[in-house]
């Protein structure tokens, strides 16, 4: 590899398997350059992405131009990421790069400007080199669309990578990214992280500034957040993403202590709660057993683990209404392009258009009540632990999960209740790899903190990550249809 410090030999495999924090150290010490990393990624994508379809849109020319400009600055002035390449989810605008939202309606859309989030990352030294695949309009927790096709789970390519940040999670798991951007309304960062064996964090509303689209505040507060292969890397990216911005009136100022410092400090929680189901959903027995065993290992760090959860009994009704209300803004698209929209999205839009003002007001009151109960719950417990998803990765040809533990679901999102209940309560949450099923497929543990409690969340997640010590060979290569091989 060529670097500003001279000719340095670093193998591509060494770089691919390095952590994001380790890559930043190599960048700031001059061991590698941003251009070196782009070369490594372009080769890796060429070798791997044809098997999993995670990064369908590439923009290496744009990235190299940005890298060349960045390298004109002293290394100390290149931002937190110092030239680290990052893919952006294909729901978020990047100037001059296709942004399709996985929709045939927007398959040729090239925005002139970037989202606030992208601008913030680039200000902090990120190089945008790809867009990651998503379900159509980010709807449904299985990443497939009519523009680019399905993204496949690299642990078993016959299985789903979940969604909607499925492309991001797969890119991380296969060494095509060190960090990745995702977004989350009903689990879209947490579900794919669980299915792919990486870490995904949904921050509190306002922690990451974004460009308002349609409304200043989407009803459910879909938020952007970081994904990576370990907790410290997620914390690093959250530092690079967060901060107040005048273009987003809901955005929060940076905290005095960085999230990376909080993660590394590893403050141990004194009392944590575990719930297999939050009292609202069936769970596959194997997933429940794996996550319970992982949660109980907090005891090895000196914590008390008890089975408990806040009252989320209104979550399904509340989420159904508020999600549908957020789709009302797509009514014009439905009228003009109905034949180009998948049936699940049509159903959501039509559900929204049928809502009454009283239904929306009632759902908002339900959400306020659930949030208040969650805040009170966290006066007793430092963290809440649950399965991140209720099933192991399912066959990719299934559009969504119809049933679990002999329980049939009413619609295509109800199986996500264990994630969207936490969204409704305005809590930050992450999915941490915690074990494998008998089929050799990853399982994620959802770790939840009180609203605004990302520092506590990351510290606790780092403690458990150390205890579990699930050090395994990552990134993994695509495994075909033979799981656990």
List, for residues 61-118, the tens digit of each pLDDT value: 999 999 999 999 999 999 999 999 999 999 999 999 999 999 999 999 999 999 999 9
Q: Is 50 exposed, middle or buried (0-12, 13-18, 19+ CB in 10 A)?
A: exposed
**CATH fold of 2-468:** Amidase signature (AS) enzymes (3.90.1300)
| Cα 159 to Cα 396: distance, rounded to the nearest angstrom | 5
Please say if the pLDDT value at position 250 is more than 70: yes
Q: Which of 26, 89, 131, 342 is catalytic?
A: 89
Give φ, ψ of 363 to 5 degrees. Answer: -65, -40
Query: Mean pLDDT score of the chain, rounded to an integer?
Result: 94
Find all residues with CB under 8 Å of 243, minimum gap 6, and list them.
Answer: 120, 209, 251, 252, 253, 254
Q: Which of 66, 101, 114, 164 is catalytic?
A: 164
Find all residues with CB under 8 Å of 409, minimum gap 6, and list them.
Answer: 401, 402, 403, 415
Instruction: Note if 89 is an active site residue.
Output: yes
Domain ranges of the chain: 2-468
Q: Which of 183, 188, 194, 450 is catalytic?
A: 188
Instruction: Note if 139 is an active site residue.
Output: no
pLDDT at 199: 98
Find all residues with CB under 8 Å of 215, minimum gap 6, and list them.
Answer: 329
Please say if the pLDDT value at position 319 is more than 70: yes
| Cα 448 to Cα 291: distance, rounded to the nearest angstrom | 14
User: Within a 10 A sphere around the Cβ of 225, how many other Cβ atoms?
Assistant: 29
Give φ, ψ of 436 to 5 degrees. Answer: -135, 150
| Cα 286 to Cα 3: distance, rounded to the nearest angstrom | 48
Coil, strand or helix: which one is 158? coil
Query: Which of 334, 328, 279 minimizes the C-alpha distance to 307?
Result: 279
| Cα 443 to Cα 379: distance, rounded to the nearest angstrom | 28
Against a cut of 0.85, is the pTM above it? yes
Instruction: Note if 258 is an active site residue.
Output: no
Please say if the pLDDT value at position 217 is more than 80: no
| Cα 156 to Cα 441: distance, rounded to the nearest angstrom | 8
């Amino acid at each position: 590899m060529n670097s500003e410090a001279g000719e340095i030999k670093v193998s591509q495999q060494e770089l691919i398997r390095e952590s994001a924090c380790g890559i930043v150290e190599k960048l700031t010490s001059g061991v590698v350059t941003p251009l070196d990393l782009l070369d490594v990624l372009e080769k890796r994508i060429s070798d791997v992405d044809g098997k999993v379809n995670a990064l369908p849109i590439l923009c290496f020319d744009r990235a190299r131009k940005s890298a060349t400009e960045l390298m004109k600055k002293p290394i100390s002035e290149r931002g937190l990421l110092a030239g680290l390449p990052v893919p952006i989810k294909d729901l978020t605008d990047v100037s001059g790069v296709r942004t399709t939202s996985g929709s045939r309606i927007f398959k040729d859309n090239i925005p002139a400007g970037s989202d606030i989030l992208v601008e913030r990352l680039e200000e902090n030294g990120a190089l945008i080199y790809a867009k990651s695949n998503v379900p159509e309009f980010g709807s449904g927790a299985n990443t497939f669309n009519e523009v680019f096709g399905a993204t496949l789970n690299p642990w078993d390519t016959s299985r789903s990578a979940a969604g909607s940040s499925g492309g991001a999670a797969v890119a991380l798991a296969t060494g095509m990214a060190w960090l990745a951007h995702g977004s989350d309304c009903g689990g879209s960062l947490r579900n794919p992280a669980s299915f792919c064996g990486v870490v995904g964090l949904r921050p509190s509303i306002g922690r990451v500034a974004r460009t308002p689209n349609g409304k200043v505040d989407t009803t459910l507060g879909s938020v952007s957040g970081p994904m990576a292969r370990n907790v410290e890397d997620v914390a690093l990216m959250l530092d690079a993403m967060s901060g107040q911005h005048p273009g987003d009136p809901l955005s929060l100022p940076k905290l005095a202590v960085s999230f990376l410092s909080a993660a590394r400090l590893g403050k141990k929680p004194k009392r944590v709660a575990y719930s297999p189901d939050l009292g609202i959903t069936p769970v596959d027995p194997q997933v429940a057993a794996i996550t319970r065993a992982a949660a109980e290992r907090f005891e090895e760090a000196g914590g008390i683990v008890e089975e408990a959860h806040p009252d989320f009994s209104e979550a399904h009704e509340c989420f159904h209404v508020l999600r549908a209300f957020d789709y009302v803004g797509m009514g014009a698209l439905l009228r003009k392009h109905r034949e180009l929209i998948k049936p699940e999205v049509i159903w959501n839009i039509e559900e929204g258009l049928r809502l009454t003002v009283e239904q929306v007001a009632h759902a908002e009151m339900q959400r306020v009540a659930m949030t208040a109960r969650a805040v009170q719950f966290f006066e007793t417990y430092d963290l809440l632990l649950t399965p991140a998803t209720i099933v192991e990765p399912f066959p990719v040809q299934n559009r969504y999960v119809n049933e679990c533990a002999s329980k049939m679901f009413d619609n295509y999102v109800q199986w996500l209740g264990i994630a969207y209940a936490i969204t409704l309560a305005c809590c930050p949450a992450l999915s941490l790899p915690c074990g494998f099923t008998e089929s050799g497929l990853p399982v994620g543990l959802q770790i939840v903190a009180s609203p605004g409690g990302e520092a506590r969340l990351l510290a606790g997640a780092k403690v458990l990550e150390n205890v579990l010590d699930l050090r395994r060979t990552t990134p993994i290569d695509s495994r075909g249809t033979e799981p656990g091989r």
